Amino acid sequence: MIKKMNFNKQFKNYDCNAITQKKVAKKLLTFIDKSKKYDTILELGCGTGMLTKALFESVCFNYLDLNDIFNTQDFFSNISYRDFFVENMETLKLKNYSLIISSSAFQWVENLENLIYKISKNTSQLVFSIYSEGNLIEIFEHFGISLDYKSTEEIYQILKKYYTFVEFQEEKFILEFSSPLKALKHLKKTGVTGFSTSNYSLTKSFKSTTLTYKVSYFSCKN
């Protein structure tokens, strides 16, 4: 089990190495009605602003609030936002929003259903992407470590309890590397490691030059 995030040590490397995350953020925006002007938007798990910058370029709104478990405000010096909440999204006290959005963050949540329930009380529209069952299968098969990824169907069933209309899509990305070591370094530079010194022999014996990302996109409305 991968038990901790390493993003706070990897922010300087994140944007230039987060190849899949950039594609996911761009695709997520296709689930938002760009002809509509939103009053208030909250982005959960905003990180270094990959999705935030794209939001500013393509979505109309009056106010934007941001959240991340780490203080990444230095990455938002050129972005106008109302509030930045440095807190775990699971314990964050929410206000009412026209739209709540999140990209590549919900897989870290300990209790997804509790978070969805809380969000549903504070917005009629939720749009998010999440890494799902089968993500980084090469790492799980070799090291035996993984987040508790849920299947798309499991996530859908949770969402249907709290939202009337739920649409979803699945996508797979396979990244190719010139060596197994470069594949592992890619994970380290995007903050998803889970490795310790006790994994040294396993690290040396890792043979895969590919990494598979499994992503689920959801658009929920009431």
Given a cut of 50, whether residue 3 has pLDDT beyond it is: no
Please give the model's pTM, rounded to 2 decimal places. Answer: 0.89
| Over residues 74-86, mean pLDDT | 94
- In the 3-class helix/strand/coil scheme, how is the chain assigned residue by residue? CCCCCCHHHHHHHHHHHCHHHHHHHHHHHHHCCCCCEEEEEEECCCCCCHHHHHHHHHCEEEEEEEEECCCCHHHHCCCCCCEEEECCCCCCCCCCECEEEECCCHHHCCCHHHHHHHHHCCECEEEEEEECCCCCHHHHHHHCCCCCCCCHHHHHHHHHHHCCEEEEEEEEEEEECCCHHHHHHHHHHCCCCCCCHHHHHHHHHCCCCEEEEEEEEEEEEC
Query: For position 7, what pLDDT does the model report?
Result: 52
pLDDT band, residue 18 (cuts 50/70/90): low
CATH fold of 7-136+147-174+214-221 reads Rossmann fold (3.40.50)
> Whole-number mean pLDDT of the chain?
89
